[in-house]
Structure 1
Amino acid sequence: MTDLLTISDLSVFYGASAQAVDSVSFSVPTGSVVALLGANGAGKTSIMKAIAGLIPAEGRQVFEGEDVSGLSARERVKRGIVYVPEGREIVGDMTVRENLTLGGYHLSGRERKSRAEMVLDLFPEIANKADRHAWRLSGGEQQMLAIGRGLMAKPRLLLLDEPSLGLAPMLVRRVFDRLGSFRSESDLAIVLVEQNLAMTMRICDELHFLRGGRIVGHRTAAELSDSAARQEAIDAYLGAASAA
């Protein structure tokens, strides 16, 4: 399988001396789901923001065979690199439909309409609330809207940061199941940041474990197919709190 994204020696600094990410390297094959797992402060979100072009970073980032390290966030979106941030960050005073339109701002009117129909088919929970202000949605519905807004941009690579944050387990499963369905019907690749290993295992192909800004372990989903192997990974890299 061809690599869609290759990250080489990625480092991120905040200020003169605070290093959030230290020489991280990994690749994302086309159509795959690659998870970054670790405790708070492990560097996961900094990696995602660097790939999205939202913060400065050292190292090399190659997307579809081209070095995109120096591109702006706007240019990366046009190329198909789309970031769905932790905390959703939808525009509450805009309607569901307006939020979706915002996500596809660079598309033609016809493409925006087609993508919006696709998103609302994928997330029927928000389809019947398309003209409702986003702040009136439940937490789970807001997360669906945030992901849908990201999908509006026709991503080739979706950077999904903590989609389970603050959601009840039933809603988390629903969101992940929808992502799994969409992924199985397209060649979309996903980089997923999560702390919940059990839920991550529902859709991922590869997992990288981070600690202190470095990758300290790597497993394939196949290697973690049994409960003993998953528990070993939890004990080695995540701690018991991530078993839920």
Structure 2
Amino acid sequence: MSDLLSVENLSVAYGSGAPAVNRASFAVGEGSVVALLGANGAGKSSIMKAISGLTPATGTVMFNGEDISTLPARTRVAKGIVYVPEGREIVGDLSVRENLVLGGYQKPAAERKRRMDMVLELFPEIAEKVDRQAWRLSGGEQQMLAIGRGLVADPKLLLLDEPSLGLAPLLVRRVFDRLATIRQESDLAIVLVEQNLAVTMRLCDELHFLRGGRIVGHRSAEELKDATARQQAIDAYLGAAA
């Protein structure tokens, strides 16, 4: 499997304090799901924003064989990198349909409509409320809308930041089931930021553990199917509370 994304020595700093991300390196193969796990403040979201071009960073970001390190966020979206931020950040006063249109603003109208129809088929919960204002949706429905809006852009790489945040366990399972369906039906690659190892294991191929802005460990999902290995990873990288 060839690498779709390659991140080398990525660093992000805010002001004069310690860097939020310190020389992080990892790769994402075509069609694979790679997870970044760690506590709050570990640097996970800063990595996502740096890859998407929303945060200044040093180091090298290669995408589809091209160095995109200096390209603006808009250009990265056009090349196939779409970021679904923590907290969803949908436009509450717009309808579900209008939010989806925003996701595909760079696409021709016919292609945008085709992608919107695909998303509404994937998430029937929001299809039933397509003309409702987005703020009136439940938390799980808003998360589905945020992911769906990203999918309308027809990404090659989807950056998902804490999709389980604030959701009840049943809704988390539902959202992750739909993500698994997307995996089965496309060659979409995903970088997934999470704190919950059990949820992450349902979807990902590889896991990178972060602490203090550094990647401190790496495991394959296959390795962590073993309960002993999984507990060792939790103890070493996430703490007993994970």
Task: Provide the residue aligned with 1:213 in structure 2.
Answer: 213
User: In the alignment, residue 155 of structure 1 is paired with which amino acid?
Assistant: P
Structure 1 distance, partners of 2:180, 2:212, is 30
Residue 134 (structure 2) aligns with = 134
Deviation at 1:226, TM superposition (A): 1.9
Q: CA deviation at 1:63?
A: 0.3
SS in 2 for 1:14: coil
Cα separation, 2, equivalents of 1:105 and 1:239: 42
Q: Distance in 1 between matches of 2:18 and 2:78?
A: 31
Q: What secondary structure is seen at the aligned counterpart in 2 of 1:19?
A: coil
Counting aligned pairs with the same residue, the percent is 75
**Does 2:120 match 1:153?**
no
Question: Which range is displaced more, 65-74 or 221-230?
Answer: 221-230
Amino acid at match of 2:214: R
Structure 2: which 5+ runs fail to align? none
Partner SS for 2:164:
coil
TM-score by length of 1: 0.98
Provide TM-score, normalisation by structure 2: 0.99
Give the distance between the partners of 1:126 and 1:80, measured in 2 at CA: 24
1:167 aligns with 2:167: yes
Counterpart of 1:104 in structure 2 is 104
Residue 183 of structure 1, CA deviation: 1.0
Shift of 1:17: 3.4
SS in structure 2 at match of 1:167: coil
Q: Deviations over 1:22-52 (max 9, x none)?
A: 0000000000000000000100000000000
* Per-residue CA distance 1:140-171 (angstroms, 9 max, x = gap): 00000000001011100000000000000000
- Secondary structure of the residue aligned to 1:105 is coil
Counterpart in the other structure of 2:224? 224
Number of residue-to-residue matches in the alignment: 242
Matches of 1:115 and 1:78, distance apart in 2 = 15
Q: Which amino acid is 2:105 matched to?
A: Y
Write out aligned runs for 1:106-125 (5 A): 106-125=106-125
Q: Distance in 2 between matches of 1:227 and 1:199?
A: 15
